[in-house]
Structure 1
Amino acid sequence: MLHRSDIQIRDPFVVPVPEEGLYYLYGTTDRNAWSGPGIGFDVYRSRDLEQWEGPFPAFRPEAGFWGIENFWAPEVHRWRGMYYMFASFKAPGRRRATQILAADGPLGPFRPLSDRPATPPDWECLDGTLYVDRQGEPWIVFCREWLQVTDGEMYALRLSGDLAETVGKPVKLFSATEAPWVRSTVYEAEGQPDVRGYVTDGPFLFRPAERELWMLWSSHGAEGYAMGIAMSASGEIEGPWMQEALPFFRRDGGHGMLFADLEGRLTLALHCPNRTPDERPVFFRVKTEGGTLAL
């Protein structure tokens, strides 16, 4: 068994399976996810969010898979009796993109639904997440990379019922600088001039009430990597989206998500600190209070 503090992971995503009395933990698990060939994604399981079994190999690329590097931020969602993984990959000469994979159970193995990513092929994209609207229709919500557009963007794109195809065109939700708390960041690349821009990372959609729709998402704030909250004025994915003035989690942590624990308590998962190889999964009890989230 491993203690939570023993697990190096970025972008933690927790799937409770009540019928098993277990939690499954996914995330960016390559030791150095920034460079070199990607190995895959591991999953851990636990009864109490503190002691964990694993790692188990949830995904390993098979021959012919297009992704080579930057295996980032897998999320797993239960949809129509299956488990679907939304994860980001990149390869030389190809844009970073989110691919959708599927498995019969939470341990995998997860395999691609199709031979191409769900995000637009000429866009640099990452951190796709599943959103199901009030009509029961699925969408992928994803980030368009600041490295391509400078001011990172958030988009939604409708999916077919089996999640294998996209439907229509992407809908822009907002840009990073619409949030007052966001600060610029610098990407230092060897042999290249520094690139400065504004990050959009890690969207996660949730409804605190029937006609409300909120989004957790991450960027860089005044005290480092941080996480803010956006709210849809219409309660629908198309928005318009309003940004809270201050980040919800402000210092050296982010890429969060929410889940109900096995006792029904709302719980926040994120990684902290934001430096490799020290990142660890962290969990907080949260509640909706005063029109926002409170730790």
Structure 2
Amino acid sequence: MNVYNAASDIANPGTGHKLADIPAHDPFVVADEITGTYYLYTGGGPRFNGMDRHGVLVYKSRDLANWEGPYVVFTIPDGAWANPKHGAWAPEVHAYGGRYYLFVTLHNNDRPLEGEGHGGFRLQWRGTAIAVSDSLEGPFELVKQDEPIPPEYHMTLDGTLYIDEEGGPWMVYCHEWVQTADGTIEAIRLKDDLTGRVSEPIHLFSGSEAPWDNGEHPDGGANSMYVTDGCQLYRTSGNRLVMLWSTYEAGSYVQTIARSVSGRLEGPWEQLEPLVFEDSGHGMLFQTFEGAWMLILHSPFKMPDSRCKLYEMTDTGDTFKVKAARPDLDGSRNNSAAS
């Protein structure tokens, strides 16, 4: 396999960026206490970043208001199952076992899957890959070259790491509505070194379980389609297991949240009131160095207008709720989408 040199793929780094200036989708923040640095990961590619191929970028900040970058931390290598020209979605980085693991959804539009897609889309290879590095700044290298971590015959995306009560690693991910019509959230048990899966998928819940009409109904409901997107799991101060995820309400992207009744990954899961409306979603939670909980998401959905927005959150013990939008940090003019 030819190894691609990410360091040669310049994305024109600079300083003094505001989040409102950075085209970004599916943001993920790591607050590194060792260096006192916030790392913001997002996908990158030729169109918006001047890269030769798709990959993952990182921006760095000390205060969440001023950012430098982007810096290339991963690009899709030649010889892997994914096509370097077909996109890199939803990157996130987790510390595990003394190293850093990048979860990123990759694609190969030239490798079709059997069956008929919904909504006019065809079925093709799409799934979350895992790459590893000794540094938050990369470079990250794939742990598995020949296929994604979830089943390759499923069209999946937005995989995230979850560690269960016994210390076992899982990937929780979305099974595409393009393949299932009613999108789902599923999970697979991972090998302890995160190099593959050791279980078949378990079903957590379906997109149609949202407590509002979030689907498209092209035939009066007979062929309804429901989106699941951007799953992230957290424990509250009251030890409640909650999951951020995104879907739609009346055609507009929405950031919502679910809670496990049993407190375990297997659920059952109950759907709570959405957190943020107005075409906003695929968010994640992190704590500042001062201990405050923050939600970062992107709004609106479509590029090139999509930008990261910040919300200060309250941990109620039972769930997380929006406390206040933070346009003073993200630089947005209109950040009033909270419920």
User: Which digits, 9 at most, give the CA deviation of each residue in 1:74-127, with x for residues without a partner?
Assistant: 011111111101111111114211101111101111110112211111100000
Distance 1:26 1:60 in 2: 13
Task: State the SS of the aligned residue for 2:253.
Answer: strand
Higher strand share: 1
* 1:139 equivalent among 153, 166, 170: 170
**Is 1:48 aligned with 2:59?**
no
Distance 2:315 2:46 in 1: 35
Any conservation in 2 of the 1:185–1:220 contact (CA below 8 Å)? no
- Paired position in structure 2 for 1:87: 104
Task: State the SS of the aligned residue for 1:162.
Answer: coil
Cα distance, 1:292 vs structure 2:
3.3
- Paired position in structure 2 for 1:238: 266
Task: State the SS of the aligned residue for 1:148.
Answer: helix
Letter in 1 for 2:307: R
- Paired position in structure 1 for 2:151: 120
Are the structure 2 counterparts of residues 173 and 260 from structure 1 closer, same or farther at C-alpha, using a change threshold of 3 Å? same
- Paired position in structure 1 for 2:127: 97
Distance 2:290 2:317 in 1: 24
User: Which digits, 9 at most, give the CA deviation of each residue in 1:4-47, with x for residues without a partner?
Assistant: 211110000000111101000002233659xxx95211111110
Distance 2:61 2:256 in 1: 28
Any conservation in 1 of the 2:149–2:196 contact (CA below 8 Å)? yes
* 1:258 equivalent among 260, 285, 289: 285
Task: State the SS of the aligned residue for 1:166.
Answer: coil
- Paired position in structure 2 for 1:199: 227
Task: State the SS of the aligned residue for 2:178.
Answer: helix
**Is 1:21 aligned with 2:51?**
no
Distance 1:197 1:183 in 2: 9
Q: TM-score, structure 1 length as denominator? A: 0.91
Task: State the SS of the aligned residue for 1:269.
Answer: strand
* 1:184 equivalent among 208, 215, 238: 215
Task: State the SS of the aligned residue for 2:198.
Answer: strand
Unpaired segments ≥5 residues, structure 2: 1-14, 112-123, 323-339
Distance 1:118 1:156 in 2: 11
Are the structure 2 counterparts of residues 282 and 51 from structure 1 closer, same or farther at C-alpha, using a change threshold of 3 Å? same
Task: State the SS of the aligned residue for 1:121.
Answer: coil
Cα distance, 1:66 vs structure 2:
2.1
Letter in 1 for 2:313: V
Structure of higher CA gyration radius:
2
Q: TM-score, structure 2 length as denominator? A: 0.80
Distance 2:71 2:213 in 1: 36
Task: State the SS of the aligned residue for 2:151.
Answer: coil
Letter in 2 for 1:174: F
Any conservation in 1 of the 2:237–2:316 contact (CA below 8 Å)? no
Aligned residues: 284
Letter in 1 for 2:54: I
CA RMSD of aligned residues (A): 1.9
**Is 1:221 aligned with 2:258?**
no
Are the structure 2 counterparts of residues 32 and 220 from structure 1 closer, same or farther at C-alpha, using a change threshold of 3 Å? farther
Identical pairs, percent: 42
Unpaired segments ≥5 residues, structure 1: 188-194
Distance 2:141 2:216 in 1: 34
Task: State the SS of the aligned residue for 1:48.
Answer: coil
Are the structure 2 counterparts of residues 31 and 267 from structure 1 closer, same or farther at C-alpha, using a change threshold of 3 Å? farther
**Is 1:154 aligned with 2:154?**
no
User: Which digits, 9 at most, give the CA deviation of each residue in 1:210-233, with x for residues without a partner?
Assistant: 541000000011361001111101
